[in-house]
Amino acid sequence: MAPRRGPADEIGVANFIVFSVLAAGCGFLTFNFGHIVSLSREVIHESLAQQHHLDKEYCAYTKCSLNKHHSRKDAFGLITGSRKEKMEERERLDKLMYPDAPPETVQALTSRVCEKDTVSDVEEDVVDVKCLEGSPTALWMEEYYRLGHRHQDLNVFINKFGDFEGVELQKGLAIKVGRAEDCAAACLMTPSHTASGALSSLPCNAFSFCSAEVCFEAGKGKQTRGDCWLQFIEAPGAPLRKYRGSAKALSSDSSAHLLGTHGQAQWWGGLLLPRGMAPANATVLG
């Protein structure tokens, strides 16, 4: 008769099984250690390379620079504020590189075909209405309405201390409002079919608001706080900014400036854009 196995024998068998499994695992890891390390290095290298590539694309878009450690420093300088504010600002800037808007929308609202050639054109307010009516921006707006979208559903952006190169829809007639938000509301309520004058076919997609007691405007002299000019501009997704803070600012900085140029003016500029698009260096309302 075979001897009966006691509890001690069963524990010994269990320990043997555990030891065998651990030994097999150690052997597998030892045998494949070189391969695992190599694969890990490849994954890390690919991840870093991809991040560096994204940073290069990001800086090409926002005009920032990469330091020797390949980390990006924004053209707007170091972002200050709390950690939450820094994260929110980073997310906002990253959205500029990866807009949610369809490619055809981005193309239409960043293309400029009727740009004024000289500063004298800006000051004399030379306007080619036919060109503006056939511009990618105007045609996109027509399609936007045709598809049943509402003008007031566009997003509003404000650029403080510097407004945009545009054409006034109501010649010589400023609206008097209390705040920049009120000027934005007036623009939102002015689709093409309610505008007046020679530019009645064009919608309001930009505006200028006088934020100081007195604001200078070339060709019009002094404007006062609350003056609101409704405008149409080409390429609101990549707008040109001009200074109208003083005669000195116009003479020393006479050409139109890309959005993001440093400086201040008494005028604030506003833009209307569809969801998924946002210009750089502007503050969204709402």
What's the confidence (pLDDT) of residue 191?
A: 79
Give the pLDDT confidence of 209-265 residue by residue, as tens digits.
999 888 877 666 678 999 999 999 999 988 887 755 443 443 334 334 333 344 456
Select the highest-mean-pLDDT range: 61-70, 74-83, 92-101.
92-101
What's the confidence (pLDDT) of residue 186?
A: 92
What's the confidence (pLDDT) of residue 21?
A: 65
Report residue 218 as tokens: 């070339």
Count of the separate structural domains present in the chain = 1
What's the confidence (pLDDT) of residue 240?
A: 82
In a domain, 121, yes or no: yes
In a domain, 9, yes or no: no
Give the pLDDT confidence of 67-79 residue by residue, as tens digits.
444 443 333 334 4
In a domain, 40, yes or no: no
Proportion of the chain above pLDDT 70, given as a percent: 46
pLDDT greater than 80 at residue 82: no
Q: What is the 3-state secondary structure (H, E, C) of the chain?
A: CCCCCCHHHHHHHHHHHHHHHHHHHHHHHHHHHHHHHHHHHHHHHHHHHHHHHHHHHHHHHHCCEECCCCCEECCCCCCCCCHHHHHHHHHHHHHHHCCCCCHHHHHHCCCCCCCCCCHHHHHHCCCCHHHHHCCHHHHHHHHHHHCCCCHHHCEEEEECCEEECCEECCCCCCEECCCHHHHHHHHHCCCHHHCCCCCCCCCCCEEEEECCCEEEECCCEEEECCEEEEEECCCCCCCEEECCCCHHHHHHCCCCEECCCCCCCCEEEEEEECCCCCCCCCEEEC
Residues 112-134: what's their mean pLDDT?
Answer: 68
**pLDDT-derived band at 99, boundaries 50, 70, 90:** low
In a domain, 247, yes or no: yes
pLDDT greater than 90 at residue 181: yes
State which residues form the domain around 138: 93-285
**pLDDT-derived band at 271, boundaries 50, 70, 90:** very high
More confident: 266 or 54: 266
**pLDDT-derived band at 10, boundaries 50, 70, 90:** low
In a domain, 275, yes or no: yes
Mean pLDDT of the chain: 68
Residues 173-197: what's their mean pLDDT?
Answer: 82
Neighbours of 168 (CB within 10 A): 21
In a domain, 137, yes or no: yes
Give the pLDDT confidence of 11-39 residue by residue, as tens digits.
566 666 666 667 666 666 555 555 544 54
Query: Which amino acid is it at 13?
Result: V
